C-alpha cells in the first residue's frame, strides 16, 4: 500500500475556499484585520504563538460560514465581522487546548504550537484567545449572540471530556461517537451559521442555518475521521493515523470492529491502546477498514449529514451565497474520495 | 526552626469571612445555588471535578467582594448574584489551569484536581467553567460588565504567561514582579469590586471600588507569596515552599537576593532551578529571607497596597459594608504575622 499526498482534494478545497473568499472579500479583510489586531499583547509570546496557530488554522472555514450565512439572509455588518473573528478566536483557542489534551506533536503535518512553545503557553494563550473572543462578541451588541457562543463553548468542552472518557471504551456505541462529534465540532459550526444570520437581521432564517451548520459540522468531522485512515482510497490529506496513535475511537474503527472477526476485535483492542500499539499496526488497521467496507460506510454516514445540511438551505432565498453553502456541504464529503 | 500550623491567622480569616457572609447571607445563598446548578452537565466528570474545585476554592472571597461592593454603593440584584457566581466560575477555571501550568500536586494542602483526575480533564473542565461564566454574565444584561470580565480574563492569562517567562529570569525587577501580581490576581479582584458596584446601580462609586479591588488583590497576593516562606514568623498557613519548589520568583526572594552576598545569589540561582534544587534548600531559603529582613519588607510592601485599598473607600458612604471591605484589607496583611 502506498500513501500518496491527497493533492486533488487539497486543490478542490483551495478552489472552493477561493470562491467563498471572493464572495465576501471585503468582509473577510475586516475579519483578518480583527484577527491580527485583537491578538495583540505586550507579552510577545502571545502574538507569536497566536500568529502561528492562526496561520496553521488555515482556511478560515468557520468565519467564512458566518459571513456567507449573513449574506445569504441579510446584510453583513460590523457586528458580523466581530462575530466572525470571535468564532475564529474560539476555534483557535480550542485547537491550542486540543493539542495539549491529544498529546499530538503535529497538527496538519506542521509541529503543533505546544511542540514549539510547550504545553503551558499553549494552555494560557488558549485562555487569552478565548477571553478575547468575548471582548469581540461584546461588539456585536447582542447578548443573544454572545449567549449562543458561550453555550457552544461549554458544549465543545463537554464533547472533549466525553471523548476522553470514550477512549477507555473498547466497544463505543455509534450514537456516543456521533454525540461527541456533534458537541466537539457541530456546536461551533452551528453557532457560526446561526449567529451569522442573527447578526445580519435574518432572524427568520437563523433556525435553518443552525440546522445547516450542525449537520455540516457532523459531515466535516466524520470525513476528517475517515481521512485519518486515508479515506476510501490510499490517498491522504493530513498525516494519517493521528487518531489511531492516540487511541481515539472513531467511526471507521467502530464499523470495522463491529463487522470484523474475534481476531480483528482482539487486534483493535490491543492496537488502540497506545501502550501496546506496534509500528506495523496502522497499515493493518487501514487494511481492515478497507476490507470490511468501513471506509465507504463512514463516508455514507457523512453524506447523510451533508444531505441534511443542504436540505436545511431549501427555505433560504436563492443566491450565490446559498449556492456556496451548498457547495461546501458537497465538498466536505468529496474530500474522502 | 519548627514550622507550626498557622492556626491563629486561619481562625481570623474564618471569623472575618463569617461576618462578611452574615452581612450578605441571603445573596450568598443565591450565589451558592448558581454555583451548584450551573456546574451541571450530563458528563459526570464535569460536576465531580467542579464540586471538588469549588469546595477547595474555599472562602468565596471574590464573590463576597462583589456582593459587599454592591451593597456598599447600591442595591444587590439578581444581576449581582449572577455576576458574583460568574466571578467565582472564572476564578476556579483559572485555578484548574494554574494547577496544570504550575505542576503543583497540591493546592492548599489538598491534592490538586489534576492530581486526582489528570491534566486533561482539568484543562477541559476549566474551559467549561470559563464558558459557563459568560453564560452567567449574559444574565447581568450588561454588555459593559461582561466586557470588563472578558478583559480581566485576558489580563489574567497575560499575567500567567508573563510569570512563565519570568521564571527564566534570575534577576527579576520588582516592577516586573508587581506587574505580574497586578495582572494575575489584581485584575479579577478589581473587576469583582468594580462590576459589583455597576450591577447595583452604584456607577459613581465604581472607579473607587476598582481601585480598592486592584490594590486589595496586590496586597493579598504579596502576602500569599510571603506566606509561602512562612511569613515573618515560622508559623505557616499553606504548604510552605510551593513557589520555591516550582522556581517562582516572588518578592521575598527578590529582596533577599538583592540584599544578600554573592554566595547567597549563587544559592538562589541554583536552588530556584528545580533541576538543581536540594531538599535542604527550603530551610536555608527561609533563613535567608528572615535574616535579610526580606520577610518584613515584603509585608511592608503589602501594607502599602492595603493602605491604598482602604484609602479608595473614603469616598463611599459609611456603612457596615464599607467597614467590612476595610477590615478585609487589614486582614489580608495580618495573615503574615
DSSP A128-184: HHHHHHHHHHHTTT-HHHHHHHHHHHHHHHHHHHHHHHHTT-TT--HHHHHHHHIII
Q: Which chain B residues are closer than 8 Å to A153 by Cβ? A: 127, 130-131, 134
How many CA within 13 A on the CB side of residue B147? 12
**3-state secondary structure (DSSP) of residue B87:** helix
Is A131 close to B124, i.e. CB distance below 8 A?
no
Cell 472579500 identifies what position? A25
**8-state DSSP, B314:** G
Find the CB nearest B124 among A125, A127, A161: A161
Supply the pLDDT for residue A104.
72
Supply the pLDDT for residue A313.
98
Is A46 close to B146, i.e. CB distance below 8 A?
no
Q: How far is A184 from chain B (nearest CA, A)?
A: 12
Is A125 close to B161, i.e. CB distance below 8 A?
yes
**Residue A209: all three cell numbers together:** 442555518
Q: Which chain B residues are closer than 8 Å to A130 by Cβ? A: 127, 130-131, 153
pTM listed for this prediction:
0.93
Q: Which domains does chain A have, with CATH numbers?
A: 7-334 (1.10.600.10)
Angle of CA points A18, A24, A25, to nearest 5°: 70
Distance CA A79, CA B258 (A): 52
Find the CB nearest A97 among B127, B157, B162: B127
Q: Which chain A residues are closer than 8 Å to B125 by Cβ? A: 157, 161
Q: What is the pLDDT along chain A (337 residues), one digit of tens a residue?
A: 333 334 445 566 668 888 888 999 999 999 999 999 999 999 999 998 888 887 754 679 999 999 999 999 999 999 999 999 999 999 999 999 998 888 777 776 778 888 888 889 999 999 999 999 999 999 999 999 999 999 999 999 999 999 998 987 889 999 999 999 999 999 999 999 999 999 999 999 999 999 999 999 999 999 999 998 987 765 444 446 888 988 999 999 999 999 999 999 999 999 999 899 998 899 999 999 999 999 999 999 999 999 999 999 999 999 999 999 999 999 988 877 6
The residues that bridge with A106 in the sheet, in sequence order, are A111
Distance CA B324, CA A324 (A): 60
Supply the pLDDT for residue A239.
46
Is B141 close to A143, i.e. CB distance below 8 A?
yes
Is B143 close to A143, i.e. CB distance below 8 A?
yes
Residue B135 contacts A, CB cutoff 8 Å: yes
Supply the pLDDT for residue B233.
66
- DSSP letter string over A16-44? HHHHHHHHTHHHHHHHHHHHHHTT--SST
Q: How many helices (H) and strands (E) does chain B have?
A: 17, 2
* Nearest residue in chain B measured CA to CA from A47: B158
With CA atoms as reference, report the closest residue to B46 among A169, A157, A184, A249: A157
Residue B166 contacts A, CB cutoff 8 Å: no
Supply the pLDDT for residue B11.
59
Residue A46 contacts B, CB cutoff 8 Å: yes
Residue B168 contacts A, CB cutoff 8 Å: no
Distance CA A90, CA A92 (A): 6
pLDDT beneath 50: ranges in chain B = 1-8, 57, 235-239
Find the CB nearest A147 among B45, B138, B162: B138
Q: Which chain B residues are closer than 8 Å to A191 by Cβ? A: none
Q: How far is A328 from chain B (nearest CA, A)?
A: 29
* End-to-end Cα spacing for chain A: 16
Supply the pLDDT for residue B7.
41
Is A150 close to B143, i.e. CB distance below 8 A?
no
Residue B40 contacts A, CB cutoff 8 Å: no
Amino acid at each position: 500500500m502506498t500513501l500518496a499526498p491527497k493533492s486533488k482534494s487539497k486543490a478542490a478545497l483551495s478552489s472552493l475556499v477561493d470562491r467563498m473568499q471572493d464572495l465576501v472579500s471585503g468582509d473577510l479583510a475586516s475579519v483578518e484585520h480583527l484577527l491580527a489586531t485583537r491578538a495583540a499583547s505586550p507579552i510577545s509570546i502571545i502574538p507569536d504563538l497566536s500568529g502561528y496557530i492562526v496561520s496553521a488554522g488555515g482556511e478560515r472555514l468557520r468565519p467564512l460560514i458566518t459571513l456567507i450565512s449573513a449574506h445569504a439572509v441579510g446584510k453583513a455588518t460590523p457586528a458580523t465581522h466581530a462575530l466572525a473573528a470571535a468564532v475564529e478566536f474560539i476555534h483557535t483557542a480550542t485547537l491550542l487546548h486540543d493539542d495539549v489534551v491529544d498529546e499530538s506533536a503535529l497538527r496538519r503535518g506542521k509541529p503543533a504550537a505546544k511542540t514549539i512553545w510547550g504545553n503551558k503557553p499553549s494552555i494560557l494563550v488558549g485562555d487569552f484567545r478565548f477571553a478575547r473572543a468575548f471582548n469581540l462578541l461584546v461588539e456585536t451588541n447582542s447578548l443573544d449572540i454572545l449567549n449562543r457562543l458561550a453555550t457552544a463553548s461549554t458544549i465543545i468542552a463537554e464533547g472533549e471530556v466525553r471523548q476522553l472518557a470514550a477512549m477507555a471504551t473498547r466497544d463505543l456505541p455509534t450514537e456516543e461517537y456521533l454525540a461527541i462529534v456533534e458537541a466537539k465540532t457541530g456546536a461551533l459550526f452551528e453557532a457560526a451559521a446561526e449567529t451569522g444570520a442573527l447578526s445580519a437581521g435574518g432572524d427568520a432564517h437563523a433556525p435553518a442555518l443552525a440546522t445547516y451548520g450542525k449537520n455540516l459540522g457532523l459531515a466535516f468531522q466524520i470525513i476528517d475521521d475517515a481521512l485519518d485512515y486515508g479515506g476510501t482510497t490510499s490517498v491522504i490529506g493530513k498525516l494519517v493515523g493521528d487518531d489511531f496513535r492516540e487511541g481515539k475511537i472513531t467511526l471507521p474503527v467502530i464499523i470495522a470492529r463491529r463487522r470484523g472477526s474475534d481476531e480483528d476485535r482482539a487486534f483493535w483492542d490491543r492496537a488502540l491502546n497506545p501502550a501496546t500499539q506496534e509500528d506495523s499496526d496502522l497499515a493493518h488497521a487501514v487494511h481492515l477498514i478497507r476490507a470490511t467496507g468501513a471506509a465507504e460506510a463512514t463516508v455514507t454516514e457523512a453524506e447523510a449529514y451533508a444531505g441534511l445540511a443542504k436540505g436545511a438551505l431549501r427555505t433560504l432565498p436563492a443566491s450565490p451565497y446559498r449556492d456556496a453553502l451548498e457547495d461546501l456541504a458537497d465538498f466536505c464529503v468529496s474530500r474522502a474520495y
